[in-house]
Homo-oligomer: A and B are copies of this chain.
Amino acid sequence: MISDPQGGAIKRGFAPEEFADRLARAQALMDRHGFAALLLTTEPDVRYFSGFLTPFWQSPTRPWFLVVPAAGKPIAVIPEIGAECMARSWIDDIHTWPAPRPEDDGVTLLTSVLRKVAGAGTIAVAMGAESHLRMPLNDYARLRSGLGGTDFADATPVIRALRQIKSAAEIDKIAKACDAAGAAFDAVPEIISAGMSDTDAFRAFTIACLEAGADTVAYLVGGAGEGGYGDIISPPGARVLRAGDLFMLDTGCVFDGYFCDYDRNYALGAVAPEVERAHDAVYMATEAGLAAARPGATCAEVYAAMQKVLEAGGALGNAVGRLGHGLGMQLTEWPSFSAGDDTVIEPGMVLTLEPGMCFAPGRSIVHEENIVIHEDGAHLLTRRAPRTLPVIR
């Protein structure tokens, strides 16, 4: 029998007070924006306001809706198949229809709920950066037509402002996901070795994450190559790990619906001196990020602090487009550590520091740590990567 080392200490789910607090903050922002209702359609947004947690979102067949009114608790408008699971969440008012029913997959029901909740007021739907609408466009058009002249506005500023600042309970869950991945990263020299295929290495690592308490390993990418890897978003290939390779694994383990997102690099035996130098540059860039990521600093300033170290360390460029980002209910969330992101860092933000660079044509290296912002600065949620590249034989 496999134990659940993570499950004991950290309670799953959230206290009702946490949902009440999220709702109160949402309604205060809605009031400021003049929104009569939020209409939520994606897994994290629905879960944030309800606690509705199910992998069933993997099925694209049925749309799911949560309506946040200007006053009172959210209202679920969902397929019948989810009624029992939703009834165990924080939501009391649950409207269902027998889905799938392509000719009217909840549109009439949702129209009537929104009309009642919002009257002639503005309905806000996520329309901004990093969002999408999880319902068919034809159904969205029918909904808007059914609601006549109702104004639709962008809910992204409200959702982002809320989700970007994590509660203590949310931070605990992210920390647990970090711990599970950390135990697996520590085990890598014992479970992965030269001669192994990428596929075998990824599988061994996934199992190690699960055994260390991850609920799922929703994200795992990596790269390996002599003297550096070429890209950092690839699934395992047919390639076999060889002495001289720089090997990287980057994982999003999930605990109770919350992600970690960080990587570790390993040398298969000895790597070339320029790889060691590049490794040192990304390590020191992370140090610069740790020092710079404080309340009141902007994301652009943290980016600049890391980028300066990378450039001094010989960076030729970086295809990732940023040097870190928010995380939580999703692998990546707002904001971005990029030159153009002026988001001011606040306590409660959970972020990744992810300095990476191309240091020779086709050869990259990237480091990543997860941090939480407190009043006094950045605190690591991950155990800091070692200063010198760990070695696999």
Contact = CB atoms under 8 A, between A and B. Distances in A.
Contacts of A319: 80-81, 83-84
A296 interface: no
A320 interface: yes
Chain B CB within 10 A, most for which of A125, A234, A330: A234
A325 B2 contact: no
Interface in A200-235: 200, 203-204, 206-207, 210-211, 215-221, 230-235
Contacts of A7: 197, 199
A75 B124 CA distance: 34
B132 A132 contact: yes
A236 B215 CA distance: 9
Contact of A58 (B83, B204, B211, B331): B331
Contacts of A137: 125-127, 131-133, 154
A27 interface: no
Contact of A1 (B3, B100, B129, B200): B200
B221 A54 contact: yes
Given A56-B221, A204-B1, A321 B135 contact: no
Contacts of A55: 218-221, 233, 235
Interface string A252-295: 10000000000000000000000000000000000000000000
Nearest to A96: B319
Interface stretch (A66-74, A101-109, A169-177, A367-375): A101-109
Chain A interface mostly? loop
A99 B4 contact: no
Nearest to A256: B235
B81 A2 contact: no
- Copies of this protein chain in the complex: 2
B83 A4 contact: no
A236 B218 CA distance: 16
Contacts of A321: 62, 79-81, 98-101
B233 A58 contact: no
Contact of A136 (B12, B85, B98, B131): B131
Contacts of A234: 54, 85
Contacts of A129: 61, 100, 102, 105, 136
A142 to B, nearest CB: 11
16 contacts: A7-B197, A55-B221, A56-B233, A59-B332, A60-B332, A81-B319, A81-B321, A84-B319, A99-B321, A100-B336, A101-B321, A126-B137, A127-B141, A132-B136, A136-B156, A203-B211
